[in-house]
Amino acid sequence: MPGVPLSGPSSSSTETATPLGTRKKVHFGSIHDAVRAGDVKQLSEICLHWLLWHGADITQATTRGWTAAHIAAIRGQDACMQALIINGANLTVQDDRGCTPLHLAATHGHSFTLQIMLRSGVDPSITDVREWKPVHYAAFHGRLGCLQLLVKWGCGIEDVDYNGNLPVHLAAMEGHLHCFKFLLSRTNNAAQALKAFNDNGENVLDLAQRFYKQNILQFIQGAEYERNDSKDQETLAFPGHVAAFKGDLEMLKKLIEDGVININERDNNGSTPMHKAAGQGHIECLQWIIKMGADSNITNKAGEKPSDVAKRFAHLAAVKLLEGLQKYDIDDENEVDEDDMKYFIRHGVEGSTDAKADLYLNESDKTDARRLSKSCRASWSMNDYVEKN
């Protein structure tokens, strides 16, 4: 790569097969060039050893300030990121915009690469020149899987950037409804988050209107935020809804069996008891309601079915029950399974723009990744980002 010299000899080469069966030499002039080639097996067996023997420098950067770790994060090259971490790569180094590899992985939606870095202990609270953290990037670009992962690792979602924007503001202005719902469900006070103003005096409704994000507008105007509406929990107008919300199955049974309420009764926001139970993840209530023949296709004023409400609050067991989708496995309290790569596929299904193609390695890739991490102990990153002018 121009401008990025390599310690030792200037280049390495190996042969690759062309479609015609001939052999073509591929030259690697630096650690960045080797990463750009993107062939784990080839690199692990030839290039990586060569680079290591000749003292490849993992701290060198491109003209944009990208180190090998930045490139691995952009391309979502998990095995290379593991190799870089093993060999002491600095994951807090910032490029010319102040972005660390975590910022870039969140930007491009590479959840598993992001998890690898988080497990190494890197600080996810570093800000770029705009005071954006990785959560801001995930929200702005609609990377739901990355956003959920960052939140589960304790990253704050109530920090503002230099314009006073919360992550929820960024999701609203870009129209990423599923990220918007998730952020509201994780804030301490959803009603307050909806009213919060940035430094330009705009709240999420103002931003959605200015950028013509009709999906956000519709949700704000009709959505019901059960977790923060204390009056709704205590109201006597809809006792069945209150029982479902609290998970009080015995009371719910009594009310319905005694004919006090209808099982599909709708409150002022169009929600049924099934919506309430789904929003809180009360599986036993949901199972009984379904057994009694409740309609799971009723939508509330926000246009949400009970399964949509369950998704909004990340109750995956409830989603599986309501939709019957095998891709949702019941998680233990929805905790991150650090050894389960399918976790990110499950958590990215609700409209996420995460790069799902890079989330699951086949057996050959896993073998190469293990060989790369354990035997080589080298210093570089995997598939480089091809810079686009």
pLDDT at site 58: 82
Residue 59 lies in a domain: no
Question: What is the sign, positive or negative, of the torsion defined by CA atoms of 41, 47, 49, 51?
Answer: negative
Answer whether residue 96 is part of any domain: no
Q: Is residue 214 part of a domain?
A: no
The CA distance from 16 to 19, in Å, is 10
**Higher per-residue confidence, 168 vs 225:** 168
Q: How would residue 384 be classed by pLDDT, with cut points 50, 70 and 90?
A: very low
In a domain, 383, yes or no: no
Taken in order 260, 266, 268, 274, the sign of the CA dihedral is positive
Q: What pTM value is reported for the model?
A: 0.58
pLDDT band at 92 (very low <50, low <70, confident <90, very high): very high
- Going by pLDDT thresholds of 50, 70 and 90, the confidence category of residue 353 is low
Q: How many CB atoms lie within 10 A of CB 366?
A: 14
Instruction: Give residue 268's Cα distance to chain centre.
Output: 33
Q: Is the model's pLDDT at 346 over the cut of 50?
A: no
For residues 299 and 177, what is the distance between their CA atoms, to the nearest angstrom?
17
Q: Is residue 139 part of a domain?
A: no
Q: What's the DSSP call for residue 329?
A: P
In a domain, 325, yes or no: yes
What pLDDT is attached to residue 358?
42
Write down the pLDDT at residue 317.
85
Q: Is the pLDDT assigned to residue 376 strictly greater than 70?
A: no
Residue 202 lies in a domain: no
What element of type H or E holds 13?
strand 12-17
pLDDT for res 335 = 46
Tell me what pLDDT residue 389 has.
39
Query: Structural domain of residue 303, as residue ranges?
Result: 227-339
pLDDT single digits (tens) 54-76: 677 888 899 999 998 999 899 88
CATH number of the domain bearing residue 266: 1.25.40.20
Number of domains in the chain: 1
Query: Is there a domain that residue 253 lies in?
Result: yes
Report helix, strand and coil shares of the chain as percent, to nearest 5.
50, 5, 50
Q: Which of 52, 60, 37 is nearest to 86 (CA)?
A: 52
